[in-house]
Structure 1
Amino acid sequence: MTSSRTSPLPAALLALALVAGAVTPAAFASSEPAAEARNRQIVTEAFERWQAGGTTFFTDLLSPEVIWTIEGSGPSAGRFEGRERFVERAVRPFVSRLSSPIRPVSKTVWADGDHVIVNWEGVGTAQDGQPYANSYAWILRMRDGQAVEVTAFLDLVPYDDVLRRIPAPRPE
């Protein structure tokens, strides 16, 4: 017959370590809630700067080695490896066709471990004066304060319409 009674030795050692200051109760708590809060704060603050007129959102938030995936089946869907490639192939061609940049007008941010999910509404104006509005859901995997993976969901019809309708600017 086995006993369900446990030895008091581990508890006594833990108590002694606590009294001696060798460990703190926080050392036994998961660091995950702190990481979640930090990741959520980093992303929230980056969106707030962008909303206020900032122009460094992608360089502030994305790791140089980010893998950004635009989900969907339109011509703009795809996978981009590296921040520069993503900005050069997806961001600049779109932004160059706008007379006023996209700004987040509302957002909700959730965090779960190293993942941050942002559901946001963005508005801007195309160079032909037509409004652009879209709903986005981005799932970011964070590491060391930067997004290393992003999966983006958006309505590609209005996005691709701007790319198709407005000619690309001529290189200078």
Structure 2
Amino acid sequence: MTSLRSTHHIFSLVLCASLACCATSASAIVEPSQPAVVADNKAVVAAAFDRWAAGGSDFFNEVVAPNVVWTIEGSGPYAGTYHGRDDLMKRAVRPLTVRLKTPIRPVSRQVWADGGYVIVHWTGEAVAGDGKPYLNRYVWILRMENARAIEVTAFLDLRAFEDVLQRVPQPEKT
């Protein structure tokens, strides 16, 4: 009986020590909802938008993770989920940008952050290849990890987007 109590006592001590180690390790993990992480995520996205508005063209490489899961909400041929930055660029971004005379520039934006998410409401303007303006309003909800967007849900006026694709022919490759 004494041996059984000793074994039970030793087991209890080992279990308590293991739980204490796990609790200490877990408290050292940086949670996405910590104020510093939230502020950093917001600052990363806001600064990248500022550079884009000023003429930069590297937003997607700066902010979007290569393995992003990007979902365009709505209906139509461009609504859906894109797996990876390359897939997004090839099937959704480039079909529009090759039909523009000027690159899309954010002309106004609002940025919020909450937990591991950054939400951007922005207006983009460009000139289409036929000289007509392209104007669209977007809301992007970015789930951030290590200062990169790993998941994005995008809302935009797909009718305006698709109008450019239907109206302006894709340039011939040279």
Q: TM-score range by the shorter chain?
A: 0.7 to 0.9
Map of 1:85-124 to 2, 5 A cutoff?
85-124=87-126
Identity of aligned residues (%): 56
5+ residue gaps, structure 2, are 1-27
When normalised by structure 2's length, the TM-score is: 0.80
The residue that corresponds to 1:61 in the other structure is 63
* SS at 1:67 equivalent: strand
The alignment's C-alpha RMSD in Å is: 1.5
Q: Which moved more, 1:35-44 or 1:84-93?
A: 84-93
The residue that corresponds to 1:24 in the other structure is none
Number of equivalent positions? 145
Q: Write the distance in 1 (CA, Å) between the matches of 2:163 and 2:97.
A: 13
* SS at 1:100 equivalent: coil
Q: Write the distance in 1 (CA, Å) between the matches of 2:171 and 2:71.
A: 25
Bigger share in helix: 2
Moved over 6 A (4+): none
1:47 offset after TM fit, Å? 0.3
The residue that corresponds to 1:168 in the other structure is 170
5+ residue gaps, structure 1, are 1-26
**Could you give the per-residue CA deviations for residues 76-96 of structure 1, whole angstroms, max 9, x where no partner exists?**
111100011111111111100
Map of 1:1-172 to 2, 5 A cutoff?
32-172=34-174
1:154 offset after TM fit, Å? 0.5
1:32 offset after TM fit, Å? 1.0
**Could you give the per-residue CA deviations for residues 18-47 of structure 1, whole angstroms, max 9, x where no partner exists?**
xxxxxxxxx8xx861111000000000010
The residue that corresponds to 1:6 in the other structure is none
1:171 offset after TM fit, Å? 2.4
Q: Write the distance in 1 (CA, Å) between the matches of 2:71 and 2:40.
A: 24
